[in-house]
Structure 1
């Protein structure tokens, strides 16, 4: 499942560099996570690094992008091929 950043984001800039897939970018008002690049750090870390570093706990699973661990690993393989 991809993650999403909630409106409570304070734009502290710590999540973007923590993402190994470069799935996080600055949006118009808050940071956003691109679901086509987010693997919840599967294949990299035991837990999503953006969640670990977020000081306001504003990152949660995105119910619009439900994926199994095997799907996330397949997505990671596709990202790494690019």
Structure 2
């Protein structure tokens, strides 16, 4: 399942450089699926939603760092454990209960984001 950052975040910046999918963004930062991925143009997300990968999306938080669920693979295919969780000094990164994904689905999402 994807991860999310709670309002306990102190905006320390430790997590952002650890994410191999560029799924973590600064507060009030626009984002796109294409950011540092192989995606471009119209794509169908793992959840079945059609989007323009290059289109800038509104920030998901204007106060705290945030994780884009469609880009989060919990580091599957890169690391054994989510790296953002490992480096967070205040333990504010947790699984999203509303986005449940199996390990296989997370690995498929990694391939979707980055190609082979």
Structures share a fold, TM > 0.5? yes
Mapped partners of 1:77, 1:18: distance in 2: 18
Gap regions ≥5 residues in structure 2: 28-61
TM-superposed CA distance for 1:69, in Å, is 0.3
The alignment's TM-score, normalised by the length of structure 1, stands at: 0.96
**Matched residue SS, 2:110:** helix
Unmatched 5+ stretches in structure 1: none
Note the aligned Cα RMSD (angstroms). Answer: 0.5
Distance 2:90 2:9 in 1: 7
Q: Which has the higher helix share?
A: 1
Runs of 4+ with deviation above 3 angstroms: none
TM-score (norm 2): 0.69
- For these two proteins, the number of residue pairs brought into alignment is 81
Equivalent residue, structure 2, for 1:14: 14
Are 1:36 and 2:70 an aligned pair? yes
